[in-house]
Structure 1
């Protein structure tokens, strides 16, 4: 027999579980359109670029489907200021505490990306070689495409072997602008 008393909704059941992943975020205008910066208690877990704030929030929700997303400008104001400062003056670098979430291979690729100095580009093949002689450039390109932390993990610094711009999740024109700004800085 089923105890109907246990089927009733308990008000405590509607609260956020203690283990829930809560991400604070804000969207602001920048010279590349709009930028969304999101952070967990561990650090910045996402920087997304685009033209529409609503689309950026949907992208964030798709990347972190189990998370509770909270618009909270005060919680990310220093991170947003860092991103905007970097866009204005890339030579100053972008020093943020990151919460990099991905497969072990993706995280290895992202760590190598972070070692590429502003103003320099590398090819997918060169980056693959930094990881292992057995790494394939396409696997590296896939890891770059999965990068949720634009700018702080500078996948825009990776180009084709012939130097041509290729594949940037946030648009080739943004990639070109970033590379040119960094080269001038």
Structure 2
């Protein structure tokens, strides 16, 4: 494949599609030859566009298939092979990093996993942040702590869930501080985002990565976001990926609206979405323009 006539975005999309349809992960050299790029150039460009290397993309795609099969009740051995892994040992070597637990544990509702969480008050209601030993696994909004804890229990009914007080868990506190800073609820500097421990399909990761590039105060339609990731006919799939986001405010799916400009749905409530978008627009408006509007 000659990369010169096509844009780099088109070339990368062809590479991504080749990985999608590969049973075994193509080597970087083979993909580079297919794309007409050097291996190092392809590696950098692919990571910049999709947020992961070609090898990580292939692995994430298979883990997404594995997770879906496990949640649907498939036997672990069947799910492992249906997702394209050559052996159970290969999936167990990496699954705790991508699922936060082994496949058998995930299928059993998180049995054997340990999740720490905390809640706090925000202008949008109560906020729950949860983490496994590998990273942040949930950020949710709700009316009260009981509602939030019930959602966490539904996702991981068999996991050991431990509530910790604010100020006693570095990762949880960092997420809360980052959200407060970025949304203007605090004047403190935003700390670095801790590692994430959320399993998803490769397509979902592409959508979520694109969501993080939408500036605060701006919105995109589902169609515009689909076009931005090189899949212009996948607006409905983009909507599903937004609906599967478990990291409220960290992955800003609230910035995606319907084609007609109406807010559309949001897992954490349409009224919260309207309020949040209005707050972000006000913060993004220069003070002088705000005074004229007032």
Q: Give the TM-score normalised by structure 1.
A: 0.80
Equivalent of 2:219 in 104, 121, 127: 121
User: Alpha carbons of 1:93 and 1:78: their partners in 2 closer, same or farther (altered >3 Å)?
Assistant: closer
Normalized per residue, the structure richer in helix is 2
Larger Rg: 2
- CA distance in structure 2 between the partners assigned to 1:153 and 1:111 by the alignment: 8
State the 1:125 CA deviation: 0.6
Superposed CA RMSD: 2.4
- How many equivalent pairs are there? 168
2:88 matched to which residue of 1? Answer: none
Deviation of 1:153 (Å): 0.2
1:86-165 alignment, distance < 5 Å: 86-89=182-185, 95-97=192-194, 98-133=196-231, 135-165=233-263
The CA distance in 2 between the partners of 1:182 and 1:103, in whole Å, is 29
1:17-67 deviation digits (Å, cap 9, x = unpaired) = x96432210011111110101122332221100102111111112223453
CA–CA distance in structure 2, aligned partners of residues 84 and 178 of structure 1: 12
Q: CA deviation at 1:164?
A: 0.9
Contact 1:166–1:172 (Cα < 8 Å) also in 2: yes
Deviation at 1:155, TM superposition (A): 0.3
Q: Show the counterpart of 1:168.
A: 266
Greater percentage in strand: 1
TM-score for both structures, normalised by structure 2: 0.52
Change in CA separation of 1:167 and 1:95 when aligned onto 2, cut-off 3 Å: farther
Higher relative contact order (CA 8 A, sep 6+): 1
> d(CA) in 1 for partners of 2:248 and 2:191?
11
Tell whether the 8 Å contact from 1:109 to 1:131 is kept in structure 2 after alignment.
yes
- Aligned residue number for residue 161 of structure 2: 69
Residues 1:39 and 2:131 aligned together: yes
> Residue 49 of structure 1 aligns with which residue?
141
- Secondary structure at the counterpart of residue 125 of structure 1: helix
Unaligned runs of 5+ in 1: 1-17
Cα drift, residue 105 of structure 1: 1.7
